[in-house]
Amino acid sequence: MKKVTVTASLTYDVIIDNGILDRAGAESAKVIKPCRAAILTDSNVAPLYAERLEKSLKAAGFSPIRFTVKAGEGSKSAESYLSFLNFLAENQITRTDCIFALGGGVVGDLAGFAAATYLRGIRFIQIPTTLLAMVDSSVGGKTAIDIPAGKNLVGAFYQPSLVLCDPKTLDTLSKDIFADGCAEVIKYGIINDKELFKKLKSPINSQIEEIIERCVIDKRDVVNADERDVGVRQLLNLGHTAAHSIEALSHFEVSHGSAVAIGTAIISRAATKLGYCPESDTKQIVNMLESYGLPTNCPYSASELAEVALRDKKRNGDTINLIVPFGIGNSRIHKIPVTDLEGFFAAGL
């Protein structure tokens, strides 16, 4: 078992252990007095793990109820959000009760935003079942839904009370969904963890607990320093400015992890062309992404990417912050005028 403690506006543990799903009730009871537990999950995860979680919660004295959304980014919507809030109200969930997010990033974001806003805030626990959610979205308190104008434009910073990562749940992931998580893992290595990048040259599966722990520690450190994303935490957006545009332009047919991989390749190539990053480092980055089965070529033009990106929350008036690799393990916040964004993307295409 591995444990990482996050010290933000709320202090909580991220526990990584094979089989912890079956002990979720006992672990949760250590931080929350047993109460009514509203489980939010999706149509892919529910048949695999919902009954096991419910059994564990009941054994620890919780009273679970379940709400299932359709799997996919489309469920991170205002409609799903309001439906879940109505479910909570109809079942008389109170401030002393708790929400459990059982699933990937969509479920975690949706559950967290509901927890942040229902009755002005109730507790919630993250039980991520994808690699992407374990290493990224379940930790740090970013919660959100999408609206037609863009991804994650409505949300709140709201920390969970506990995060429980069971690497055994990764065994049921498709190859593509597992690769999505690898994109975020590789991202940490490029940002500020050269040793992690080196570790990824060996197969990830044989060292999965260690890799998850290392990524969570990397994220913990930036969240502790900058919980509300006004400074160093923005480094975690490496590749994401282009990625969010790619997701939107594809109507979310391109997954988040694939989009991040493409966005990371774009920004790395641009960094080399503009003289910021050694060409050898960019070649290693692109080769690493491709070795994990991730795409690195973009089907959209620089003008298409820029048009969508300028609606993104990362824009600050007439400027936008890009995260630019100056080398593996050395990424920096690089502010540019919004008028230069299309050219930056063009350099990376």
The domain 2-172 is placed in CATH, from the list 3.40.50.1970, 3.30.200.20, 3.40.50.300, 3.30.465.10, at 3.40.50.1970
What is the SS3 assignment for 42?
strand
CA distance linking residue 347 with residue 272, whole number of Å? 9
Quickly list DSSP for 282-303.
HHHHHHHHHHTT-----SS-HH
The Cβ-side half-sphere exposure at 107, using a 13 Å CA radius, reads 31
Where does the pLDDT of residue 27 fall: very low under 50, low under 70, confident under 90, or very high at 90 and above?
Answer: very high
Structure confidence at residue 150 (pLDDT): 85
Residues 164/20, Cβ–Cβ less than 8 Å: yes
User: pLDDT tens, 315-347?
Assistant: 778 999 999 999 999 999 999 999 999 999 999
Residue 246 has pLDDT above 70, yes or no: yes
Length of the chain: 349
Average confidence (pLDDT) over 126-134: 98
Average pLDDT of the chain is 96
Residues 344/305, Cβ–Cβ less than 8 Å: no
Residue ranges of domains in the chain = 2-172, 175-348
User: pLDDT tens, 274-325?
Assistant: 999 999 999 999 999 999 999 999 999 999 999 999 887 667 789 999 999 9
Residues 128/138, Cβ–Cβ less than 8 Å: yes
Structure confidence at residue 314 (pLDDT): 66
User: pLDDT tens, 34-62?
Assistant: 999 999 999 999 999 999 999 999 999 99
Structure confidence at residue 149 (pLDDT): 85
Structure confidence at residue 330 (pLDDT): 97
Other Cβ atoms closer than 10 A to 112? 27
Average confidence (pLDDT) over 67-83: 97
Structure confidence at residue 313 (pLDDT): 64
Torsion of CA 12, 18, 99, 7, to 10 degrees: 10
Structure confidence at residue 311 (pLDDT): 81
User: pLDDT tens, 98-122?
Assistant: 999 999 999 999 999 999 999 999 9
The span from the first CA to the last CA of the chain, in angstroms, equals 43
Q: Give percent of the chain above pLDDT 70.
A: 99
Residue 129 has pLDDT above 70, yes or no: yes
Whole-prediction pTM value? 0.95
User: pLDDT tens, 184-232?
Assistant: 999 999 999 999 999 999 989 999 999 999 999 999 999 999 999 999 9
The CATH H-level superfamily of 175-348 is: Dehydroquinate synthase-like - alpha domain (1.20.1090.10)
According to DSSP, the β-strands at 150-157 and 2-7 are unpaired
Q: State the Rg of the chain over Cα.
A: 19
Residue 261 has pLDDT above 90, yes or no: yes
Instruction: Give the helix ranges, DSSP H, for 169-255.
Output: 175-192, 194-199, 208-225, 240-249
Structure confidence at residue 48 (pLDDT): 98
- Integer angstrom CA distances of residue 15 from 154, 212, 311, 314, 327: 28, 10, 36, 31, 31
Structure confidence at residue 127 (pLDDT): 98
CA distance linking residue 339 with residue 344, whole number of Å? 10
Residue 257 has pLDDT above 80, yes or no: yes
CA distance linking residue 245 with residue 201, whole number of Å? 29
Quickly list DSSP for 51-105.
HHHHHHHHHTT-EEEEEEE-SSGGGSSHHHHHHHHHHHHHTT--TTSEEEEEESH
What is the SS3 assignment for 173?
coil
Please give the helix or strand (H or E) that residue 110 lies within, else none.
helix 105-117
Average confidence (pLDDT) over 130-145: 97
CA distance linking residue 72 with residue 91, whole number of Å? 25
